Structure 1
Amino acid sequence: MTDKPLIAILEDEPGIRRIMSETLEAAGFRTQCFARATEFEAALRHITPDACLVDLGLPDRDGLALVHRLATESGAAIIIVSGRTQVQDRVTGLELGADDYIIKPFEPAELIARLRARLRRPPAQTRADQRNRASFAGWTADFDQYALISPDGAETPMSHAEAEVLRMFLDNPRRLISRAQMLEILGGAGGESFDRAMDVRISRLRSKLGEDPKNPQLIKTIYGAGYIFLAEIGWS
């Protein structure tokens, strides 16, 4: 057994793949590398990585489609590592469920810092390991299974990014959370891409919670100030 986080690296360029693996292993991570999406997806049936580093320019699969699938089916943190520099590429990647976006060429120290930030547990979670299920307004959030359970028992999966946002709200009920506080709690590069990603994740959470988008009752928008989560929370 090992406590070292497992990082799956999907990168078709051998030199970059080697640098990423060596850098991360020197920093205390375990790595498993893949050159093609088909190999990577087959391996996911047998391994459970803590994070996935995904290149978008893959020879056998659209990288953005793969990111979206990982976000909806995997509990791993997802970081895109790509040479695509356009703001729209970054925004699209984050909207599809990635947790962060690193542009090539990158500094090894930046890669390590970004990865550690995505794997860092929220401070409130460190109080007790049993804080993995929360009940509110008839709903249950299971952060071990990355699932939302409705009042009638129906289960809906959450992406890693959606779970992070929901956890932020559940750890801070009935408190106004500004964009700046979101960035501090969740990490990331900030700016337009961060704001757009938060809007999308909050919209998806509202949809999964059955909220009326014109008049949400749980996740309220305070225009010009931030968001507030209006429910009593029970942890177990």
Structure 2
Amino acid sequence: MPNILLVDDDPGIRDLVSDFLGRHGYAVTTAEDGTSMDRAISAAPTPFDLVVLDLMMPGEHGLEIARRISSPGGPGIIMLSAMGEDGDRIVGLEVGADDYLPKPCNPRELLARIRAVLRRRQGTASEPGGVVAEFDGWKLDLVRRELTSPDGVLIALSDGEFSLLRVFVERPQQPLGREELLELARGRDADSYDRSIDVQISRLRRKLDGAVKNREELIRTVRNEGYMFTPKVIRR
């Protein structure tokens, strides 16, 4: 049973969402702010699989919380915000959130997003041990979900970034449209109007092209077609 941590200062939302998710097979722990979230994480017998995190709360801001709990191998993060501004959505994705929903949101839509994030995170469980994709000096471990630069530096990836990079390394040197990338990275719950894929591509470009200077762009924009992962990929 997946373990979900819901962090929201509104008790009505906590009760509604936790009850709804509980009826759909999820174990839900609730917290009202960053401090109570930290206590819940410390007291949990096993790590949480995903955190549903409100943006605007008393005390520590949701973006700061997302920034400090986002890490390779950490929980998936879905952010909620009553503000619904594009800037908030982009910043949330920038600090490591995997998805973002405006409040109020339909519990069924939240459930679909949770399932999509968890499905992406569990997608590597069936990979045979030791599967590593190598490209242009980089190494992407598909089991450990770790990206290592040509200089041997471990590069942190959010769940969404890992899923997107995995799609690219599995289909190198071929143009992929936005809708196709969304479908491959997120599955049937993808929204064709969701612009977060562009944000994640931008973040991946900065991490890949910024870590090693004077190298060819690894993710190239193909006019009228989408994006293409340019290097040759070897799987070991």
Question: Is TM (by shorter chain) over 0.5?
Answer: yes
Query: Which shows bigger deviation, 25-34 or 35-44?
Result: 35-44
C-alpha deviations, 1:88-147, integer Å up to 9, x for none?
Answer: 222332233322212222222111111111222389857645375322222211344443
2:35 counterpart residue number? 38
Q: What is the Cα-based RMSD across aligned positions, in Å? A: 2.8
The within-5 A match list for 1:48-197 is 48-72=47-71, 75-121=74-120, 125=124, 128-130=127-129, 133-187=132-186, 188-191=190-193, 193-197=195-199
The question of 1:224 aligning with 2:224 is answered yes
- Alignment gaps of 5+ in structure 1: none
2:202 counterpart residue number? 200
Instruction: Give the distance between the partners of 2:234 and 2:193, measured in 1 at CA.
Output: 34
Q: 1:165, 1:201 within 8 Å by CA — same for their partners in 2?
A: no
Q: What amino acid sits opposite 1:108 in the alignment?
A: P
Give 3-state SS (helix, strand or coil) of 2:77's partner.
strand
Give the direction of change, closer, same or farther, for the CA distance of 1:203–1:43 in structure 2 (3 Å limit): farther
Instruction: Give the distance between the partners of 2:216 and 2:39, measured in 1 at CA.
Output: 40
Q: Which runs of 4+ in 1 moved over 6 A?
A: none
Give the direction of change, closer, same or farther, for the CA distance of 1:217–1:204 in structure 2 (3 Å limit): closer
Question: Normalized against structure 1, the TM-score is what?
Answer: 0.82
> For this pair of structures, how many residues does the alignment match?
231
Instruction: Give the distance between the partners of 1:79 and 1:231, measured in 2 at CA.
Output: 32
- Alignment gaps of 5+ in structure 2: none
Give 3-state SS (helix, strand or coil) of 1:112's partner.
helix
Instruction: Give the distance between the partners of 1:211 and 1:147, measured in 2 at CA.
Output: 21
1:15 counterpart residue number? 12
Instruction: Give the distance between the partners of 1:211 and 1:175, measured in 2 at CA.
Output: 24
